[in-house]
Amino acid sequence: MSEKINITLNINSRAHAIAVEPRRTLADAIREDCGQTGTHIGCEHGICGACTVLLDGEPVRACLMFAVQAAGKYIRTVEGLADGDKLHPIQQAFMDHHGLQCGFCTPGFLMLAVGVLEREPDIADEDLLDVLSSNLCRCTGYQNIVKAVRAAAKEMRGK
């Protein structure tokens, strides 16, 4: 065990002052040190994307970063999507279009989709498919994830 370092993670506009070993991944820190367990861990190799969060607006694999690297950045996780009782359009679209089954990969897909749609609301269908192929889902066969993200894109453009 190596010495712990004091850092502050800003998650969904809330500051979490934590002490972590330098080797602590961002995914573990978000879940275990900050108690935000909505971000899931599926492979710890950066392949499945279940741990996708937004870091200064960009989707990143939280399992491939150290927590200390995220200090001072603006982190968004699934817990920050809804505005109180009002779901984010992407959450609503996943429910409306049955874009989830077991729900384990869902937070990662939601953050991936929000990241790309905020940056590129008019993204072409084919490009969107490329982006969504960043993450793995084993339940849905992606049919309804693609539908849901397209529906959310439309909704978000309308605003």
Q: Binder to another protein among 26, 29, 145, 151 (CB under 8 A)?
A: 145
What residues form DSSP beta bridges with 60?
53
For residue 81, state whether it binds another protein (rule: CB under 8 A).
Answer: yes
Q: Which amino acid is at 157?
A: R
Residue 25 near residue 66, CB atoms below 8 Å: yes
**To which H or E segment does residue 130 belong?**
helix 125-132
Tokens representing 152 are 């959310």
Tokens representing 124 are 């072409």
Alpha-carbon distance of 152 to 33, in angstroms, equals: 32
Q: How far is the CB of 107 from another protein (least distance, A)?
A: 5
From the list 68-76, 116-124, 132-140, 150-158, the region that binds another protein by CB under 8 A is 132-140
Segment 89-118, which members bind another protein (CB under 8 A)?
A: 91, 94-96, 98, 100-107, 110
- Residues of this chain that interact with another protein (CB under 8 A) are 1, 21, 23-24, 28, 31-32, 36-45, 47-48, 50, 77-79, 81-82, 87, 91, 94-96, 98, 100-107, 110, 129-130, 132-146
